[in-house]
A and B are shown apart, each in its own frame.
Chain A
Amino acid sequence: MATTRDWLLADSPTSRTQAGAGRLYRLILGLLSNPLTVLGLFIIAVLVTTAIFADLIAPYSPIRQNLSVRLQPPSWEYLMGTDALGRDIFSRVVHGSRITLTIVLLVAVIAAPVGLLVGAISGYFGGWVDRVLMGVTDIFLSMPKLILALAFVAALGPGINNAIIAIAITTWPAYARIARAETLVLRNSEFIAAVRLQGGSAARIIARHILPLCTSSMIIRVTLDMAGIILTAAGLGFLGLGAQPPMPEWGAMIATGRDYILNQWWVATMPGIAIVIVSLGFCFLGDGLRDVLDPKNGESK
């Protein structure tokens, strides 16, 4: 066992695999040393597992109505109670994890590469390309995100796909800023000059040498942004602009519980607790990742 450890932590790795494995091992060690980060990892793991095995975990159907048991308080039979249409809230929250995970992943998959590319191009070429691209980025950055997303969804029409697009439109600028800052540092380094001397094209340099080096700060930022994305998506769902009924989206579920909040508190409260726990999980993990991967760059939000 000790030999594996030594191999992983070797100061002068002899192969690329060893260096990569060693880096991953150190990262995991760093993450596991902070209890809040471990808690965050655990929450995300539970979320992912729940989303994958939702059909097996949920005791009832998330959409079938049963009016004879409407608005039941939490009990052993209905862990989180039932809503106004007699649907089991626990089953709906479990299935809702799929929607939340889908939204979060899709926004990240759309927004992060766009921001990364815009920022890298802007930083690499400089000059008027930089000025134009960063001008557009700054305009988006200095606008209120939620309001912009609201206006976009209002124009595109309500629905979960449009909500995802609207949120992605409002998230990419922050990534472009980060990628640009990283690129500016890398641009004049010697190994980039070496590639350029070998005749590497700009596209090749950006894609093969600059973008990979921006990923770690990007991962930190995306993880920290996850909570905000979840909250925005839930907010859109709450206003009826995101996921449409009968989809068990957490924000939309809170909206259905709004009319019963004074007497049947559980209808609106339970999905909200799910949102808080999952968002906190991403925050804890993001904080931990930043401490390990980027210790000098403290708070920056």
Chain B
Amino acid sequence: MAAEAGWFFATIFLTFLGLLAITFMIGRVVPIDPVLAAVGDRASAATYEAARQAMGLDLPVWRQFLNYVWGVFNGDLGTSISTGRPVAADLARVFPATLEMATIGIIIGVVLGVPMGVIAASRQGSLVDQAIRVVGLLGYSIPAFWLGLVGLALFYAQLRWVGGPGRLGIFFEGTVPPVTGLLLIDSLIAGNFGAMRNAFWHLVLPASILGFFSLAYIARMTRSFMLDQLSQEFVTTARVKGVPERMVIWRHAFRPIRIQLITVIGLSYAGLLEGSVMIETVFSWPGIGNYLTTGLFNADMNAVLGATLVIGSVFIFINKISDVLYRVLDPRAR
């Protein structure tokens, strides 16, 4: 067990180092000269050289990489040139907005996706099954940003069912003191139910769109896990014994797949953090994805790499955790 835990942390550490190596390399090949950006193009050669040495850019590459890794482990991601603040502080500020949206999204995905997959599997080949299959494939075929735009045109501009871009209407802007950064919870703490309703009104469309993509994946995987179980002999035995079909499906077939589902849900949660990049751009949602794309447009490489690093780390972490959970919970894999 101790060896396994050691191996687990070793792989996480190595993968994280790999991620750092990639962001470091990307940062190095960028055609923007960081020294020039800092001192301006009118600086003398001596000033330029001094700044270059102060920034550690005259050191050999491996030393630069060590410095970079050391900085990241101490929470130093550099300074954003567009906000003029440390990237780490910026990211901490914008992260809750993404977290809130992705969490509501995954709840929608699980609550709808799992039953859909179970129903599809229990009526394999039927029209319902085909319909759910197509919904699942649509989740792989629709560009998230396009669905966001069409959703805005339809539900916001035409039907007025939901709020527009952003997290809050102008009227409520600044009325909620930030505690957790999650607007739904903060407004509840403050007892500001008007703001809470407004926040929900803005959140519902982007979160539903994210939810649709996780629903597609979860339903597809649930269906295939269930098909596996339903073809097992103990299911046939239960049926022969006269157990009602509903009991067969939910108690005999569904129970064993819960472990596999945890892995799938974990992976799709991580996937939503990534999916939120496009959605946030469309909805002007002030989260980490929006921060990343804004950084891209402003050639703000520190911001881009910092956001990449954070999303990548969360992604890796959730990936590995669901891997481990799977092994701990599944008695066969022990």
- Which residues of A line the B interface, CB within 8 A? 36, 135-136, 138-140, 142-148, 150-152, 154-157, 227-228, 231, 234-235, 238-241, 251, 254, 257-258, 261-263, 265, 268-269, 272, 275-276, 279-280, 283-284, 287, 298-299, 301
Q: In the assembled complex, how far is the CB of residue B291 from the closest CB belonging to chain A, in whole angstroms?
A: 12
User: A284 CA to B144 CA in the complex, in Å?
Assistant: 19
Contact B137 A154 (CB under 8 A): no
Closest 10 pairs between A and B when the two form their complex, measured CB to CB: A139-B18, A279-B141, A299-B224, A272-B146, A144-B274, A155-B26, A262-B157, A283-B137, A280-B141, A151-B308
Q: Hey, which chain B residues are within 8 Å of A287, CB to CB?
A: 137
Chain A's closest residue to B137 (CB) is A283
Contact B146 A279 (CB under 8 A): no
Q: Cβ of B315 < 8 Å from any Cβ of A?
A: yes
Contact B14 A143 (CB under 8 A): no
User: A7 CA to B23 CA in the complex, in Å?
Assistant: 58
- With a 10 A CB-CB cut-off, give which of A150, A156, A238 has the most chain B CB atoms: A150
Contact A144 B312 (CB under 8 A): yes
Q: Cβ of B320 < 8 Å from any Cβ of A?
A: yes
Question: How many interface contacts (CB-CB < 8 Å) are there between A and B?
Answer: 154
Chain B residues 24-76 with CB under 8 Å of chain A are 26-27, 29-31
Q: Hey, which chain B residues are within 8 Å of A239, CB to CB?
A: 281, 293, 296
8 Å CB contact of A151 from B15, B26, B134, B140: B26
User: A65 CA to B277 CA in the complex, in Å?
Assistant: 32
Q: Hey, which chain A residues are within 8 Å of B320, CB to CB?
A: 142
Contact A143 B137 (CB under 8 A): no
Contact B145 A144 (CB under 8 A): no
Chain B residues 307-321 with CB under 8 Å of chain A are 307-308, 311-312, 315-316, 319-320
User: A218 CA to B319 CA in the complex, in Å?
Assistant: 24
Q: Hey, which chain B residues are within 8 Å of A144, CB to CB?
A: 270-271, 273-274, 311-312, 315
Chain A's closest residue to B318 (CB) is A142
Q: In the assembled complex, how far is the CB of residue A74 from the closest CB belonging to chain B, in whole angstroms?
A: 15
Contact B141 A154 (CB under 8 A): no
Q: Hey, which chain A residues are within 8 Å of B301, CB to CB?
A: 154-155
Using A150-B277, A272-B143 as known contacts, say yes or no to A280 and B137 having CB atoms under 8 A apart. yes
Q: Cβ of B202 < 8 Å from any Cβ of A?
A: no
Q: Hey, which chain A residues are within 8 Å of B137, CB to CB?
A: 280, 283-284, 287
Using A262-B157, A280-B141 as known contacts, say yes or no to A155 and B308 having CB atoms under 8 A apart. no
Q: Hey, which chain B residues are within 8 Å of A251, CB to CB?
A: 143
Sample of 23 A–B contacts (CB below 8 Å): A138-B11, A139-B14, A139-B18, A142-B315, A143-B19, A143-B312, A147-B308, A151-B26, A151-B304, A151-B308, A155-B27, A155-B29, A227-B140, A234-B143, A235-B278, A254-B143, A269-B146, A272-B146, A276-B143, A279-B142, A280-B138, A283-B137, A287-B137
Q: Hey, which chain A residues are within 8 Å of B23, CB to CB?
A: 151
Q: Hey, which chain A residues are within 8 Å of B27, CB to CB?
A: 155
User: A35 CA to B66 CA in the complex, in Å?
Assistant: 57
8 Å CB contact of B143 from A143, A148, A231, A241: A231
8 Å CB contact of B296 from A150, A254, A257, A280: A150
Using A150-B296, A155-B29, A261-B149 as known contacts, say yes or no to A238 and B19 having CB atoms under 8 A apart. no
Q: In the assembled complex, how far is the CB of residue B121 from the closest CB belonging to chain A, in whole angstroms?
A: 11
B 281-315 binary contact with A (CB < 8 Å = 1; else 0): 11000000000110011000100110110011001
- Which residues of B line the A interface, CB within 8 A? 11, 14-15, 18-19, 22-23, 26-27, 29-31, 130, 133-134, 137-138, 140-146, 149-150, 152-153, 157, 217, 220-221, 223-224, 227-228, 270-271, 273-275, 277-278, 281-282, 292-293, 296-297, 301, 304-305, 307-308, 311-312, 315-316, 319-320
Q: Hey, which chain B residues are within 8 Å of A154, CB to CB?
A: 26, 30, 296, 301, 304
User: A69 CA to B27 CA in the complex, in Å?
Assistant: 45
8 Å CB contact of A298 from B145, B150, B224: B224
Q: In the assembled complex, how far is the CB of residue B80 from the closest CB belonging to chain A, in whole angstroms?
A: 14
User: A284 CA to B221 CA in the complex, in Å?
Assistant: 17
Q: In the assembled complex, how far is the CB of residue B99 from the closest CB belonging to chain A, in whole angstroms?
A: 16
User: A152 CA to B22 CA in the complex, in Å?
Assistant: 9
Using A157-B31, A283-B141 as known contacts, say yes or no to A139 and B304 having CB atoms under 8 A apart. no
Contact B278 A238 (CB under 8 A): yes
User: A45 CA to B133 CA in the complex, in Å?
Assistant: 22
Q: Hey, which chain B residues are within 8 Å of A254, CB to CB?
A: 143, 145-146, 149
Q: In the assembled complex, how far is the CB of residue A288 from the closest CB belonging to chain B, in whole angstroms?
A: 11
8 Å CB contact of B153 from A231, A235, A262, A299: A262
Contact A272 B157 (CB under 8 A): no
Given A150-B277, A238-B278, A276-B138: 20 more A-B contacts, CB < 8 Å: A139-B18, A139-B19, A147-B277, A147-B292, A147-B308, A151-B308, A154-B304, A234-B146, A239-B281, A240-B297, A251-B143, A254-B143, A254-B146, A261-B149, A261-B152, A269-B150, A269-B153, A299-B221, A301-B220, A301-B221
Q: In the assembled complex, how far is the CB of residue B253 from the closest CB belonging to chain A, in whole angstroms?
A: 15
Contact A135 B281 (CB under 8 A): no
Contact A258 B141 (CB under 8 A): no
Using A150-B308, A299-B220 as known contacts, say yes or no to A142 and B319 having CB atoms under 8 A apart. yes
Using A136-B18, A144-B270, A154-B296 as known contacts, say yes or no to A275 and B26 having CB atoms under 8 A apart. no
